Amino acid sequence: MGPDVEAALNHLRGRMHRSLPQTEKLAERQRPAGTDDLFVAWETLTHAGNPTPV
């Protein structure tokens, strides 16, 4: 996966209540995420550990 791990993990784990242990490990290895100078930027800051509405 590219730099979009945090957004996907936030959605699938937080909103869809899916168990994604391997994706969580990948996200933890990539933290803190920076920017790719395109569209994706600072996902750790905007998505990691954010509570999601039920």
Phi first, then psi: give them for residue 41, nearest 5 degrees: -150, 135
Q: What is the C-alpha separation between 23 and 26, in angstroms, rounded?
A: 5
More confident residue, 54 or 18: 18
pLDDT digits (tens, 9 = 90+) for 13-52: 888 899 999 989 988 888 877 666 666 666 776 677 766 6
Q: What is the pLDDT of residue 48?
A: 76
**27: part of which helix (H) or strand (E)?**
helix 21-30
Q: What is the C-alpha separation between 53 and 23, in angstroms, rounded?
A: 21
Q: What is the pLDDT of residue 8?
A: 83
Q: What is the pLDDT of residue 38?
A: 67
Average pLDDT of 6-13? 84
